[in-house]
Copies of this chain bind each other. A is one copy, B any other.
Amino acid sequence: MNQDPSRKFEEITLRTEPIFQGQIISLQVDTVRLPDGREATREIVKHPGAVAVLALLGDKEKMLVVEQYRKPLNKSQVEIPAGKLDPGEDPMDAARRELEEETGYRCASLRHLSSFYTSPGFADELLHLYIAEGLERGQANPDDDEFLDCSAVTLEEAERLIREARISDAKTVLAVYAWKLYKLTGAL
């Protein structure tokens, strides 16, 4: 009997059908053997992974946010700075890079908070979330096809933006909760 908890209810891959190879994601359909011996198909999006930064100004008084258009949602949203990993890139290096590119800020302190899968039902995207403190302002330098505005919001403003659905992505809502816990307990 297999005691490794991560193998519980394992689905064995019988076949993989590649569907699409894009610039950011790829898609495949796996045929799997279920624990009861039957077969099923799984639609799987492959993603290189991403980073996001909860960047706190002053004594945790404000958080940096960027406003950008999200084509999949057909609207502009307010989010924490984030971006996908370059091939082979260390996540912490990517966090520093994305923070500086999108906001112009460099940080004295960068700590890993948590890493989580954004949509484990259909995608393997793993997002690494960091907390940046000791911020110093420089010059923003977004990607060629990236249009965004950077600003700083208080916790109360962030909570209002969540209520108004101007902040509505998992990583930013999660980061706002983490920030609130940090302010309440002094630790994370």
Residues of A that sit less than 8 Å from B by CB: 5-11, 13, 19-20, 22-25, 27, 29-30, 32, 34-36, 38, 40-45, 47, 50, 67-73, 75-77, 79, 82, 84, 114-125, 127, 145, 147-149, 162, 165-166, 168-171, 173-174, 177-178, 180-181, 184-185
Q: How far is the CA of A30 from the CA of B70 in the complex (A)?
A: 12
Name the residue in A11, A123, A170 with the highest tally of chain B Cβ atoms < 10 Å from its Cβ. A170
Contact B122 A173 (CB under 8 A): no
Q: Which residues of B contact A36 (CB under 8 A)?
A: 147
Contact B9 A76 (CB under 8 A): yes
Contact A71 B44 (CB under 8 A): yes
Contact B147 A34 (CB under 8 A): yes
Minimum CB–CB distance from A102 to chain B (whole Å) comes to: 13
Contact A44 B23 (CB under 8 A): no
Q: How far is the CA of A162 from the CA of B118 in the complex (A)?
A: 14
Contact B178 A67 (CB under 8 A): no
Q: How far is the CA of A125 from the CA of B70 in the complex (A)?
A: 12
Minimum CB–CB distance from A58 to chain B (whole Å) comes to: 22
